[in-house]
Amino acid sequence: MRFADVTLSPLYTAAMGLVSEERGLSMRFPRFIRIRDDKGIDEASTGRQLADMWEKQNETVAPDLMEEEVDEEE
């Protein structure tokens, strides 16, 4: 899978409680690329890994945009 970015979601529950108590994370514009024959289901990405991607992505976002996202949560 490839995707544009990771976003907070009121609908999806992936990583809920890791970055927000009320929202999960979702992949924006996900695209299926290919089946991974080299990985099994036990090696799939975890909620923690998705939360790490979200946190890393937000380190590169301008601080004023981060403040807007926090304001929307309140």
pLDDT value, residue 59: 82
pLDDT value, residue 48: 92
Q: Supply the pTM of this predicted model.
A: 0.66
Domain span at 62: 5-73
Model confidence pLDDT, tens digit, residues 21-51: 999 998 889 899 998 899 888 988 898 998 9
Partnered with residue 71 across adjacent β-strands are: none
Model confidence pLDDT, tens digit, residues 57-69: 888 765 555 555 5
The pLDDT mean for the chain works out to 82
State how far the Cα of 58 lies from the Cα of 2, in Å rounded to an integer: 18
| Count: domains in the chain | 1
Instruction: Kindly give, in sequence order, each residue whose CB lies less than 8 Å from that of residue 57, ignoring residues fewer than 6 positions away.
Output: 5, 6
Q: What are phi and psi of 28, to 5 degrees?
A: -90, 130
Report which secondary-structure segment, H or E, holds 42. none
State how far the Cα of 71 lies from the Cα of 51, in Å rounded to an integer: 19
- Select the more confidently predicted residue: 73 or 46: 46
